[in-house]
Structure 1
Amino acid sequence: MQIVRGKKLEKAADGEFRQLAQESSRVVVDVGTGDARASYRIAKENPDWLVVGVDPAWQRMTQTSIRSRRKPAKGGVPNLLLVNSSIESAPEELAGAADELLVLMPWGKLLHGLVRGDEDIWTGLRTVAKPGAPLTATVGTSIWREPVPRDIQGLPELTDAYVEDVLTAKALAAGWRITGFRLTPAEEAAAVSSSWARRLDAASTEVIATLTAVTAEPAE
């Protein structure tokens, strides 16, 4: 497992993750964490949890890693672990480790795979989840409004009909049962009593698509 320590990328010590997980009441994995600020906030507000930020672009996580390694009185959070990996090739230490998964405002391959129901992305998420673990994914719907970014052109829009007619079956084939889908103005989403929602800008006119799921036996 490759982890970010300050400005460096290092190999985790043998058993390091296992010990951290055993000492924690809950393991939350923030997939595609980006700059890891949301992971930091969750870890700071829940000191008995282990929060694992996962992203293949490790350089973006360095500033948050530096901050997290300070003394707790100066903002340090020893219960935050930042892992350099994509979810489809997550390190074996994370297999079956997550009590909860978050995919918050993803971009790139993660966004495309999540929305299209790509097997490698959804199976990767399932691989790190414990049985019965919930998944919450959020996507800003403005990406489908003109002018549509080049990277998004051709990507199906998340709607009730699309989730029901297409994504539900694909998710189930990968071991996830979709439990809900809703569209929520950003100011309402940010007011939810949940630390991850603070990634959203409360003053934004953005409409957030929120998809929830729970692990299930894959469909035959």
Structure 2
Amino acid sequence: MRDGRGVVVDVGAGDGRAVVRRAAQSPHTLVIGIDASHPPLISTSRRASRPASKGGLPNALFVLASAEAPPFELIGAAEVVTVTFPWGSLLRGVLGLDRAVVEGLAALVAPGGSLQALFSVEERDRTAVGPAGVPGAEACMRDAFVTAGMRLVESREASQADVEASNSSWARRLRVGRERRAWLALFRKDGRTGPIG
């Protein structure tokens, strides 16, 4: 994002703490957390909505929605979309296995914007992500997202610094980087519309 301004959308925001941290670090950036489950977001959302004089963050918002059906107001609005240590259908979407999630994530990204996914999938997770699992994930992601107008520009094992920079509560619970490996995938949307070929 140029000069720290813009819109960042965190899909699968969980407890919302990463959204609040990012909003506090970048006061000129609107940081929006989206999650399909509202209970974890309640207390964080309340704190963020307080007046700024009482510790609130006017640049942090939370939206109850699924990745498959993002709010139309956010379509094409985000310079950056992040997905950090997803599970269930969101993980399947990041891996390119759930078309509705792929399309929903790609729809949020503004032309020229990016989607960064940080995820952990191990052999024991195969039942959650289906038969594709870990082997072949890069090709599956590349193919699925290209049909949604995005190209995979980076795919690699995540470093411990990547994991720590995510400020993810879920990563700490999973012991990612210590007991589990993690991967980072970065996608870009061209400034033009339609599939990238």
Distance 1:90 1:153, change over 3 A: closer
Aligned CA-pair RMSD: 2.4
Partner of 1:132: 112
Deviation digits for residues 52-109 of structure 1, max 9, x if unmatched?
A: 1011112220010122123435432111110010122111111111111001111111
Q: Distance in 2 between matches of 1:218 and 1:140?
A: 27
Q: Distance in 1 between matches of 2:176 and 2:79?
A: 31
- Answering whether residue 44 of structure 2 is matched by residue 64 of structure 1, we say yes
Q: Percent identity?
A: 31
The counterpart of 2:14, out of the listed 28, 34, 43, is 34
Distance 1:55 1:153, change over 3 A: closer
TM-score between both structures, scaled by the size of structure 2: 0.83
Q: Distance in 2 between matches of 1:133 and 1:153?
A: 27
Distance 1:150 1:136, change over 3 A: closer
- Answering whether residue 12 of structure 2 is matched by residue 43 of structure 1, we say no
Partner of 1:103: 83
Structure 2: gaps spanning 5 or more residues:
none
TM-score between both structures, scaled by the size of structure 1: 0.75
**Quick one: which amino acid aligns to residue 214 of structure 1?**
R
- Answering whether residue 137 of structure 2 is matched by residue 162 of structure 1, we say yes
- Cα contact 1:116–1:156 (8 A) shared by 2: no
Structure 1: gaps spanning 5 or more residues:
1-23
- Answering whether residue 135 of structure 2 is matched by residue 175 of structure 1, we say no
The counterpart of 2:158, out of the listed 166, 184, 196, is 184
Distance 1:166 1:155, change over 3 A: same
**Quick one: which amino acid aligns to residue 21 of structure 2?**
R
Q: Distance in 1 between matches of 2:187 and 2:126?
A: 29
Partner of 1:20: none
Q: Distance in 2 between matches of 1:96 and 1:106?
A: 22
Q: Which structure has the bigger radius of gyration?
A: 1
Q: Distance in 1 between matches of 2:97 and 2:125?
A: 20
Query: Segments of 4+ in structure 1 off by > 6 A?
Result: none
Q: Distance in 2 between matches of 1:215 and 1:131?
A: 5
Deviation digits for residues 126-147 of structure 1, max 9, x if unmatched?
A: 2121101111001123xx24xx
Q: Distance in 2 between matches of 1:93 and 1:107?
A: 25
Distance 1:83 1:154, change over 3 A: same
**Quick one: which amino acid aligns to residue 198 of structure 1?**
N
- Cα contact 1:117–1:171 (8 A) shared by 2: no
